[in-house]
Structure 1
Amino acid sequence: MELRHLRYFLAVAEELHFTRAAARLGMAQPPLSQQIQQLEREVGAPLFHRSGRGVALTEAGRQLAGDAREILRLTEAALAGARRAARGETGTIRIGFTASASFNPFVIGSIRDYRAAFPDVEVVLTEENTANLLALFRTRRLDAAFLRPADGEAGDLAGHDLPAEPMMVALPHGHRLAALEAVPLAALAGETFILYPRRNGRGLFDAIMQACRAAGFSPRIGQEAPQMASTVNLIAAGIGISIVPASMSHIRTLGVTYRPIDGDGPVAAMSLLSQDGDSPATVAAFVALVTRRAGDTDLGTDRPKSV
């Protein structure tokens, strides 16, 4: 039995007339009658009472009609489900992000827009440092991630560069440099720095160190903060100062003042990494959405770029 036999059968069952059913199917009446006879031989019983005035369903025909409608409904649903999965409209995606990226409006907006565009996809979110996110990629427990890898750190992952984010100086409230509208990097020489450990995120750490050396000094690191948010809390406690991605200024912690850098300063590069090769369609759809947004919005504010 083939699905076309069921479709032919239902057309006759609904029209109760072979000629009208053949016209509805766009075929000649004799081949339709032959197909129904073939189906009846397979069932082993007549499906229609035939008379000069038309046809009527037998008991076997009535039973088959109900089941055939359900079979065809399930078949169409299965095909539609497969097509949706192929377009990335269903399934699961595992998205990672670093602590600093979690404060970036662009990252938050990308995840929000993806959930709105693909409501039937299960989104599993993971916040980790760069090193741990890369480890999750290696064990294929992550599909995509917003992070700040150093050169060569991403390995064979597919990388999609996003616009770099400026960095700012974070100072304790009342610090002498907080009175400035913008702080030159050279003015930070001799200050005690609180930095995110290099082992957790080489890209951001190295960018800060290189910029400070270019300004003529090597930062004196007095404290490492295991999480980016803890950096801000330690600054509020007066333990030191730091250089952080501009999006961190959205953390309005009492006792912390943010100032832009006067002159050339480090930038916080960001990439969207994803598994290369045979990735689920959900990942391709997510990458397409993020890269499209990156071209259309200001990364630091998540507002449309001015024309």
Structure 2
Amino acid sequence: MTLAEELHFGRTAERLHVTTARISQTIKKLERHIGTPLFDRSSRHVDLTEAGRQLHDDLRPACDQIEAALQKAANAARGVGSVLQVGFLGAAAGQLMVQAAQLFGQRHSGWRAQPRELQIVDGLRRLRAGDVDLLVVSLPHNEPDMVTGPVLFSESRVLGVSCRHPLARRDSVSLEDLAAVKMLQVVGGFPDYWRADRTPDRTPGGHPVEPGPQFETLQEALALIDADEGAFVMGAQVSRFYARPGVVYLPFRDAPPLEWVPTWLVTNTAPQITAFNQAAQDVAARVSSVPRDQRPDAHGG
């Protein structure tokens, strides 16, 4: 299941804390037992075969149920069954989650929500592992084992570039300008639809986009941008929460906004999820109804 998510033997070994050889041996043994290849392997790519894809889809619900049951038992053993773990990525989502947690606690005596900051590379993995019960992510998000709630807030997209890059002298950029930069790459096996949206290999006009160095955290990305090692597409909140002298944030003229939504596992049917989502929606609606020049920094632009 992990290899099907990562499609990379090295990253799978890192996640499972075993050697790459152990992963390869296990997959070969499973393929011999089933009688057909589950993965197409080459020196550059790993892909699921039709049989592998079918096995993954059939096993996913059962794996989710097992993980949810184990997490529920662990929570009960720690006496934290009434504490909802709420993950977020980025400062804007963090401020919204803190306010939603306060409202959630006021409305439901005996329940509590604990906001937890995660990194982009491990958000979905930790949600699947049960480390958090709910996670706020940016669209696109289309994972079959997860439920997606309504949009909580949206923000314009910006391109982060070094102040030394020629594009930094502009007031704005187009998606076609991505051909003029190296696009930083997020480490990890992200879905193709997400990479196509955030780190495309071609512009809308068909011009190639050169890939740049990899990163795991936003601070790593900003350090690479500052050093003029590449650029990255982000939400406009970075200009307020992550200002750096060596980084310029250029608004896009032709890119759709980034929309942020809550997501949780299909198997998690706890009533706290519904109650917290309602609190988050109410906080988001309350903030959006206040004139922009009078708002607190709830959405960061």
Which TM-score band (shorter chain)? 0.5 to 0.7
RMSD: 3.4
The alpha carbon displacement at 1:223 in A equals: 0.7
Q: What corresponds to 1:172 in structure 2?
A: 162
Residue 95 of structure 2 aligns to a residue whose secondary structure is helix
Report whether the alignment pairs 1:162 with 2:149: no
After superposition, residues 150-299 of structure 1 pair within 5 angstroms as 150-197=140-187, 199-200=189-190, 204-210=194-200, 213-249=203-239, 250-262=241-253, 264-276=254-266, 279-298=269-288
CA distance in 1, matches of 2:166, 2:286: 39
CA distance in 2, matches of 1:288, 1:206: 31
Report whether the alignment pairs 1:111 with 2:98: yes
CA distance in 1, matches of 2:145, 2:162: 38
CA distance in 2, matches of 1:197, 1:167: 21
For these two proteins, the number of residue pairs brought into alignment is: 211
Normalised by the length of structure 2, the TM-score is 0.58
Residue 253 of structure 1 aligns to a residue whose secondary structure is coil
CA distance in 2, matches of 1:148, 1:203: 12
CA distance in 1, matches of 2:199, 2:205: 10
Residue by residue over 1:113-170, the C-alpha shift from the partner in whole angstroms, topping out at 9 and shown as x without a partner, is 4225516644334333466433344344422110136453152435333344321011
Q: Which ranges of structure 1 fall in alignment gaps of 5 or more residues? A: 1-89
> Does the CA contact (< 8 Å) of 1:198 and 1:206 recur in 2?
no
Residue by residue over 1:91-116, the C-alpha shift from the partner in whole angstroms, topping out at 9 and shown as x without a partner, is 3111112xxx3222x54133234225
* Of 287-296 and 200-209, the range deviating more from structure 2: 200-209
After superposition, residues 124-163 of structure 1 pair within 5 angstroms as 124-129=114-119, 132-148=122-138, 150-163=140-153
Per the alignment, do residues 110 and 96 of structure 1 end up closer, same or farther by CA in structure 2, a change over 3 Å counting? closer
> Does the CA contact (< 8 Å) of 2:94 and 2:117 recur in 1?
no
Normalised by the length of structure 1, the TM-score is 0.57
Residue 112 of structure 1 aligns to a residue whose secondary structure is helix
Per the alignment, do residues 121 and 292 of structure 1 end up closer, same or farther by CA in structure 2, a change over 3 Å counting? same
> Does the CA contact (< 8 Å) of 2:179 and 2:203 recur in 1?
no
Per the alignment, do residues 238 and 292 of structure 1 end up closer, same or farther by CA in structure 2, a change over 3 Å counting? same
Q: Which of 1 and 2 has greater Rg?
A: 1
The alpha carbon displacement at 1:238 in A equals: 1.8
Residue 118 of structure 1 aligns to a residue whose secondary structure is helix
Per the alignment, do residues 203 and 252 of structure 1 end up closer, same or farther by CA in structure 2, a change over 3 Å counting? farther
The alpha carbon displacement at 1:254 in A equals: 2.3
1:102 equivalent among 69, 77, 90: 90
The alpha carbon displacement at 1:197 in A equals: 3.5
One-letter amino acid matched to 1:247: Q
Q: What corresponds to 1:23 in structure 2?
A: none
Residue 102 of structure 2 aligns to a residue whose secondary structure is helix
Identity among equivalent positions (%) equals 16
CA distance in 2, matches of 1:183, 1:143: 38
> Does the CA contact (< 8 Å) of 1:192 and 1:220 recur in 2?
yes
Q: What corresponds to 2:20 in structure 1?
A: none
